[in-house]
Chain A
């Protein structure tokens, strides 16, 4: 039996509901963040950002219907094709794209601006899912590891070339997917250690860190002196870490551009230049912090209303929640996202095919990464990167791409029982 189109009983309405709630809340907060009480603005005025966001939500609805009526096998079968197409777009944008604020990431199609890097996420996810769905592929195999790295690395590199370092880092989230699919966690642990030392280098003097590393290494060697092999590993990694410590100093001083360097330094010292580099984070924390427990109430936020927070309807949309709805509002928002992420993992785990499961994890991990970085930067836990909050931030490209991203999973999930029929 073959069945196409939407079968409403099989659609996971929990996910759809969470999506709808987030998009609706996002729309209201975009309205609040651009609200000016001196000028009457309707929620539905299409000349305002709130009105436009409603339009993006509407068009996303059309995209959802399109995805739902398509053959679910299309994504499986054409995953490499879609991937290839998006990679091509990413190359083309480098050549023909419009340069906006130092990044060449936009296609201007008449009045509509399109950002292909937004679509790189689901294309890459499809390709990775497709590759891993081959029963012969084992992630323990170095060649397979290399292939996966290439699939992920190619669009990441192209996005980096556009000058959008923030969006490039999104691909790091794929590590978690690979971990779920059997990648040796050592790699991840090494990654975490390297990252930890990156931050430590920013805070502490290099010499002190070196002494610290040697001390800890000595202690470890002393406790397991029997095994020469382990001693060798410890000594090697100690020297690698010392290398990192000095390497990062070199990176910070000679490789990173000043604005990147400042954003990283801002993490360890939030009071660096509050009127310059620190302005965004300082103002965003002030806006959120001034919300208190219950918030100032819808449309009553002074910080956002009087434009103290920059980009408050896109990357810093969370400030509006924090200020107007307080900790309670933040709690609900974080809760909504947590529910969505766990639901997506639940969907991924119940897929009958490895393709569906890998894709599901890709959705969960990439959405989570956006959540992590976006909210993390508004409260000063993560360096400022231009990354939107999924379904929430103003913007057509990002809303469309997240909608497509999520609803391909919903579509796959709705047909998960049919996968077996095919085999």
Chain B
């Protein structure tokens, strides 16, 4: 019956209606993914970047701060009726650049904003601010970059840059996002977690074009950003600046430490560069240039360079010798220049004179007595016992391993031990005669400028040191860093230090090898060093602390290829000490002498 076909048609209608209702029930009630997608559509997470913590020097002077920069942003969709020629003139770009930038922005997104010109200067910003009304689609956004009142300490400060892929992968807490800035080196990297603060998040409702339409759920999910903690560093900005001035034209480093706290007063690496080169618009370009510079300005010499310490090592030998009882201050040893060459007119020095004259045969003999103590009858076994003991002493001074300063990439240097010589010469292939160079700080010993300065602090403190560090306190509460408040004791008893100190004092007196470090009215203790350099002119080293009683500053100066330690090294150390202790009243006798010396070819 054809009549009945009306039921078929009615059935089809109702059937489709039912299918629609079932499908609607599924997507509207059962499947939650659409609700989520809807929120993702309209809710935009806006990250509010906190201010990065500032850095202060020990006298509360700002040394690192944030400076606002202005980015010109563009939303291609909103551009209309722009006089391109006028625009290019206003922003001083060429028409080709304009087209290229627009194309790049369009490729990124037609409806979202992207940077058009990054980091307009303050002057540029002031100029274009009022012009922007004529250019719909262009906006200014503000962010901050690092800025520095003094162009100094670039390697210790480090720099911040966009987070790398590998850093992102290591960030297991998922704090960082692509494009975030992170400390890449130096203090910026070491104290990243304290400096970065906490990001704030605001949830905004947006329409399909990304235009804001108010806050989401009345801002209940929004969080405020918390600025990063400030770092109070131990650096004395004036001293640091002065050190950098002295190191101009020289390759090497100056490290100054306050012995009573381990706080680093100055840490100069030469040659250096202006830290603002690695902040802002031209970071990538400048980094490229700096990293290819043959003088290696990015190489932080105080921490990363290791050298043979040279004659300053004799102070360590003297201390170990006394502690081991193989010498006493009055012990005289003939200056037998047939064993090892020496310099200056002296023949039979006691300990103080040997330090003052830097007598090589004297310390050859001291080291021999430390190493060969006739504990074993076996002539090959005996030096092993002695060397092992010697090495334990040396390591207690913080040599041979990183001291643990609060900066990344600290090198530990090298103190050779029994296994090393066994490997090189065979277990029965070496005696004291093989390793005697150690006695005068040459040979296989390697130490960094920081460790050398620390040696100065140890002698100044008569037997202990605080781990050197750059940050005194963090944030408002001035949280102390416990590990920097522990005394690290050497294996030398304190009574053995005063003969060494006395000897070091005479080094800087008129007629001593380090007379240029002497300061009228301040007893300075010092020790010169000249390190043989197979590649060129000798390196000049100087180790000092002052005043002799109640020392305020211990310093190591290492000037590469500058010849005798009595010249550049001593003069720089003396100037630094005087500058620090006397400030503006310093007479700075040898300043011109130092500034004239240029060793970088």
Residues of chain A having any CB pair with chain B under 8 Å: 38, 176, 179-182, 283, 285-293, 302-303, 305-308, 322, 326-327, 330-331, 334-335, 337-338, 341-342, 345, 349, 361, 364-365, 368, 371-372, 375-376, 379, 381
* Beta-carbon contact of A330 and B37 below 8 Å: no
A289-B33, A289-B38, A290-B39 known; 5 other A-B pairs, CB under 8 Å? Answer: A306-B207, A308-B207, A330-B24, A342-B13, A372-B16
* Beta-carbon contact of A288 and B34 below 8 Å: yes
CA distance A345 to B8 in the complex (A): 12
* Beta-carbon contact of A327 and B213 below 8 Å: no
Given contacts A179-B5, A303-B42, A306-B213, contact A327 B37 (CB under 8 A): no
* Beta-carbon contact of B205 and A291 below 8 Å: no
Out of B29, B33, B41, B42, name the residue touching A292 (CB < 8 Å).
B29
* Beta-carbon contact of A285 and B27 below 8 Å: yes
A262 to chain B, nearest CB (A): 20
B9 at the interface (CB under 8 A from A): yes
Out of A306, A334, A371, name the residue touching B205 (CB < 8 Å).
A306
CA distance A181 to B9 in the complex (A): 12
CA distance A288 to B16 in the complex (A): 18
CA distance A328 to B8 in the complex (A): 27
* Beta-carbon contact of B41 and A322 below 8 Å: no
Which residues of B in the span 178-208 have a Cβ within 8 Å of any Cβ on A?
205-208
Out of A179, A331, A338, name the residue touching B9 (CB < 8 Å).
A179
* Contact partners of A371 in chain B: CB under 8 A: 16
* Beta-carbon contact of B38 and A303 below 8 Å: yes
CA distance A337 to B14 in the complex (A): 10
* Contact partners of A375 in chain B: CB under 8 A: 20
* Beta-carbon contact of A293 and B34 below 8 Å: no
Closest to B3 in A: A349
* Contact partners of A308 in chain B: CB under 8 A: 41-42, 207-208
Binding site secondary structure of chain A = helix
B473 to chain A, nearest CB (A): 49
A45 to chain B, nearest CB (A): 21
* Beta-carbon contact of A307 and B38 below 8 Å: no
CA distance A341 to B6 in the complex (A): 12
CA distance A308 to B39 in the complex (A): 12
* Beta-carbon contact of B20 and A290 below 8 Å: no
A15 to chain B, nearest CB (A): 15
CA distance A292 to B205 in the complex (A): 20
CA distance A307 to B213 in the complex (A): 12
Which residues of B in the span 432-491 have a Cβ within 8 Å of any Cβ on A?
none
* Beta-carbon contact of B5 and A180 below 8 Å: yes
* Contact partners of A322 in chain B: CB under 8 A: 24, 28
* Contact partners of B127 in chain A: CB under 8 A: none
What are 19 A-to-B residue pairs whose CB atoms are below 8 Å? Answer: A176-B12, A182-B2, A286-B37, A288-B27, A289-B28, A289-B35, A302-B41, A302-B42, A306-B205, A330-B28, A331-B24, A334-B17, A338-B13, A338-B14, A342-B10, A342-B14, A375-B20, A379-B23, A379-B27
* Contact partners of B42 in chain A: CB under 8 A: 302-303, 306, 308
B90 at the interface (CB under 8 A from A): no
* Contact partners of B8 in chain A: CB under 8 A: 179
* Beta-carbon contact of A381 and B23 below 8 Å: yes
Out of A303, A368, A381, name the residue touching B13 (CB < 8 Å).
A368
Out of B16, B28, B37, name the residue touching A291 (CB < 8 Å).
B28
Out of B6, B28, B207, B209, name the residue touching A345 (CB < 8 Å).
B6
Given contacts A179-B9, A182-B2, contact A288 B28 (CB under 8 A): yes
Closest to B25 in A: A327
CA distance A179 to B41 in the complex (A): 46
* Beta-carbon contact of A379 and B41 below 8 Å: no
CA distance A314 to B546 in the complex (A): 88
CA distance A249 to B64 in the complex (A): 67
B282 at the interface (CB under 8 A from A): no
B365 to chain A, nearest CB (A): 83
Size bracket of the B interface: 35 or more
B79 at the interface (CB under 8 A from A): no
CA distance A379 to B24 in the complex (A): 7
* Beta-carbon contact of A286 and B9 below 8 Å: no
* Contact partners of B213 in chain A: CB under 8 A: 38, 306
Tally of A-B Cβ pairs under 8 angstroms: 113
* Contact partners of A292 in chain B: CB under 8 A: 28-29, 35
* Beta-carbon contact of A290 and B35 below 8 Å: yes
Q: Which 8 A-B pairs have the closest CB atoms?
A: A289-B34, A290-B38, A306-B207, A289-B27, A307-B208, A327-B28, A302-B42, A286-B37
CA distance A371 to B17 in the complex (A): 9
Closest to A338 in B: B17
* Beta-carbon contact of B205 and A327 below 8 Å: no
Between B10, B21, B24, B39, the greatest number of chain A beta carbons within 10 A of the residue's beta carbon is seen for B24
B31 at the interface (CB under 8 A from A): yes
Between A286, A291, A308, A376, the greatest number of chain B beta carbons within 10 A of the residue's beta carbon is seen for A286
* Contact partners of B35 in chain A: CB under 8 A: 289-290, 292
Closest to A357 in B: B6
* Beta-carbon contact of A334 and B21 below 8 Å: yes
Closest to B8 in A: A179
CA distance A180 to B10 in the complex (A): 11
B223 to chain A, nearest CB (A): 22
B208 to chain A, nearest CB (A): 4
Closest to B19 in A: A381
* Contact partners of B29 in chain A: CB under 8 A: 292-293, 327
Between B13, B19, B205, B209, the greatest number of chain A beta carbons within 10 A of the residue's beta carbon is seen for B13
* Contact partners of A365 in chain B: CB under 8 A: 9
Given contacts A345-B6, A345-B10, contact A286 B41 (CB under 8 A): yes
A170 to chain B, nearest CB (A): 16
* Contact partners of A381 in chain B: CB under 8 A: 19-20, 23
* Beta-carbon contact of B28 and A293 below 8 Å: yes
Closest to A323 in B: B38
* Contact partners of A291 in chain B: CB under 8 A: 28
* Beta-carbon contact of B5 and A326 below 8 Å: no
CA distance A286 to B207 in the complex (A): 14
* Beta-carbon contact of A349 and B27 below 8 Å: no
Given contacts A179-B5, A303-B42, A308-B42, contact A290 B17 (CB under 8 A): no
CA distance A85 to B39 in the complex (A): 51
* Contact partners of B17 in chain A: CB under 8 A: 334-335, 337-338
* Beta-carbon contact of B41 and A334 below 8 Å: no
A366 to chain B, nearest CB (A): 13
* Beta-carbon contact of A303 and B23 below 8 Å: no
* Beta-carbon contact of A290 and B13 below 8 Å: no
CA distance A179 to B8 in the complex (A): 10
* Beta-carbon contact of A286 and B38 below 8 Å: yes
* Contact partners of A302 in chain B: CB under 8 A: 38, 41-42, 205
Which residues of B in the span 240-268 have a Cβ within 8 Å of any Cβ on A?
none
B214 to chain A, nearest CB (A): 9
Out of B9, B24, B39, name the residue touching A176 (CB < 8 Å).
B9
Q: Mark B26-55, 1 if CB is under 8 A from A, else 0.
A: 011101011101110110000000000000
Closest to B33 in A: A289
CA distance A381 to B42 in the complex (A): 25
Out of B2, B20, B23, B206, name the residue touching A306 (CB < 8 Å).
B206
* Beta-carbon contact of A330 and B13 below 8 Å: no
Between A283, A302, A365, the greatest number of chain B beta carbons within 10 A of the residue's beta carbon is seen for A302
CA distance A283 to B37 in the complex (A): 9
A382 to chain B, nearest CB (A): 10
Closest to B38 in A: A290
CA distance A375 to B6 in the complex (A): 24
* Contact partners of B34 in chain A: CB under 8 A: 285-286, 288-290
Out of A176, A180, A326, A379, name the residue touching B20 (CB < 8 Å).
A379
CA distance A341 to B38 in the complex (A): 33
B5 to chain A, nearest CB (A): 5
CA distance A334 to B207 in the complex (A): 29
Closest to B16 in A: A372
A208 to chain B, nearest CB (A): 27
CA distance A181 to B3 in the complex (A): 9
* Contact partners of B205 in chain A: CB under 8 A: 302, 306
A291 to chain B, nearest CB (A): 5
* Beta-carbon contact of B13 and A307 below 8 Å: no
